[in-house]
Structure 1
Amino acid sequence: MSRRSPLPPSPPPVEIRSWPDREALLADRDVVLGELVRMHVGPGRLGLLWMWAALAALGWSLVGTGLIMFEQTYDVISAIGALVSLVIGVALLVPSAVFVALGLSRDRRVRQLLLEWGALDRDPARDLRLRRPGASLAWLLASFVLCAVGLFACTAGPAGATAGDPYGLVVLLMGVGLIAWVAGLIGITKALTHRRWVVRVLIGAVSRPRVPAGGGPHG
């Protein structure tokens, strides 16, 4: 599956499964779970989240710059420049927010599919590659740094403002900080959610019933 391909379907109901044997089921389960894990915590997904966060931060920076220019505008040319900055900023900010929201919706479906396919059976040998501890740690550390930077910008900006500073500057710093904090929080949640899935599904103590031969095709 490519990054743009649709998500795999849920496992077929028990009554229409037609896997010839358990090994065939485990092989299909391994392929689907491998793709789902990559879609959830793969390095490409982290880069995509940071890309949209950076684009949103750039958009908000232009919005804040436009507000500052409006505060300090004394002629028509400056007002036009401020308006252009605002329009470009909104044009960057809105699509970023939309695509992040779509990504969060897709992640919820991916997590549901991870639970459904993981619950089919147990396969400790193949499941080792699905744990991805390095990927989870990378998501966690990178997102923690982003959260820390965002919180610092949200608090240090207003705290360091003086009476003569433009209000637009405070808005700019707080907005960029909030975007960084939200992106970091999304990343931390994904890392912890993946780890919880690993513990609950892949190395949990609850036994899975063996699926008899005759369970359904898919993969």
Structure 2
Amino acid sequence: MSRRPSLPPPPPPVEIRTWPDREAMLADRALILRALVGMHLGPGRLGVLVMWAGLAAFGWLLVGSGLVIFEQAADFFSGIAGILSLLLGAGALIPAVVLGSLYVARDREIRALLVGWGALDRDPEHDRELRLPGMSLVWLLLSFVLAAGGLALCVIGPASARPGDDSYGMVALIMGLGMVAWLTGLIGAVKALAHRRWVLRVLAAPAPPAAPAADAPARADAPARR
């Protein structure tokens, strides 16, 4: 069984809410938002992103090495070694891409739940704990470094290649590693900026209007007496 924590359900519509009072609703809201913020921006999520990025980089390293070996193969055994490297690299790269896509899709679900539960009401005392400015800054700085380094590899690698000295496989290897770093940094930056946007647009926004009370039962009009 997967150890990944399951996501909470979205907040119930107004018509079927069963909280006895506002305090009970705020307690559930604070508990769920705290869990969702941890799932979205916690240190564990940073470790998972780095793990999938490392697996993708390792897979592309094997793929690029296989291209270089296959391109420079001088005999049959060198060609076999290049093909094996390509297959091993694909075996690491494809799962990393699939799991990374699932990671991004789960983040979108978490952000939708954050908006839904955050819009229920305002609780300044507990909402202050959800802002996490330091963690957001860590995500943003690390993402910027990764994205800048990856973009530099994608540009410098082909620009510095010399015809006859550098093979196409080596250029592809450098560009692939740069692309992995750039995409990882982009994902991290989107997470950090999305959290900041959620804080400003949901937590710091004015409280939503209170739900209208249930209509009283209709009264039968008594005939007017003269």
TM exceeding 0.5: yes
Q: 1:130 to 1:213 in 2, by over 3 A?
A: farther
Describe the superposition over 1:155-182 as per-residue Cα deviations: whole angstroms up to 9, x where unpaired.
Answer: 1111111112111000000000011001
Superposed counterparts of 1:200-215, under 5 Å: 200-204=201-205, 206-210=206-210
Q: 1:192 to 1:21 in 2, by over 3 A?
A: same
Offset at residue 211 of structure 1 (A): 5.4
SS in 1 for 2:73: coil
SS in 2 for 1:200: helix
For residues 212 and 174 of structure 2, the distance between their equivalents in structure 1, rounded to whole angstroms, comes to: 59
- Cα RMSD (Å) of the superposition? 1.6
For residues 132 and 171 of structure 1, the distance between their equivalents in structure 2, rounded to whole angstroms, comes to: 39
Percent identity of equivalent pairs: 59
Superposed counterparts of 1:70-109, under 5 Å: 70-109=70-109
Describe the superposition over 1:29-62 as per-residue Cα deviations: whole angstroms up to 9, x where unpaired.
Answer: 0000001101111111111111111110111011
For residues 48 and 58 of structure 2, the distance between their equivalents in structure 1, rounded to whole angstroms, comes to: 15
For residues 84 and 71 of structure 1, the distance between their equivalents in structure 2, rounded to whole angstroms, comes to: 14
1:217 is aligned to: none
For residues 9 and 207 of structure 2, the distance between their equivalents in structure 1, rounded to whole angstroms, comes to: 24
Superposed counterparts of 1:61-210, under 5 Å: 61-163=61-163, 164-204=165-205, 206-210=206-210
1:57 is aligned to: 57
Which structure is higher in RCO with an 8 Å CA cutoff and minimum separation 6?
1
Larger radius of gyration: 2
For residues 155 and 120 of structure 1, the distance between their equivalents in structure 2, rounded to whole angstroms, comes to: 47
Check whether the contact 1:68–1:168 (CA below 8 A) recurs between aligned residues.
yes
Offset at residue 12 of structure 1 (A): 1.0
Offset at residue 5 of structure 1 (A): 2.0
1:107 corresponds to which letter in structure 2?
Answer: D
1:33 is aligned to: 33
Offset at residue 197 of structure 1 (A): 0.2
For residues 196 and 60 of structure 1, the distance between their equivalents in structure 2, rounded to whole angstroms, comes to: 34
Report runs of 4+ in structure 1 exceeding 6 Å deviation: none
Normalization by structure 2: what TM-score? Answer: 0.90
SS in 1 for 2:12: coil
Gaps of 5+ in 2: 215-226
SS in 1 for 2:106: helix
For residues 29 and 48 of structure 2, the distance between their equivalents in structure 1, rounded to whole angstroms, comes to: 26
Q: 1:213 to 1:53 in 2, by over 3 A?
A: farther
For residues 9 and 55 of structure 2, the distance between their equivalents in structure 1, rounded to whole angstroms, comes to: 32
Offset at residue 105 of structure 1 (A): 0.8
Normalization by structure 1: what TM-score? Answer: 0.93
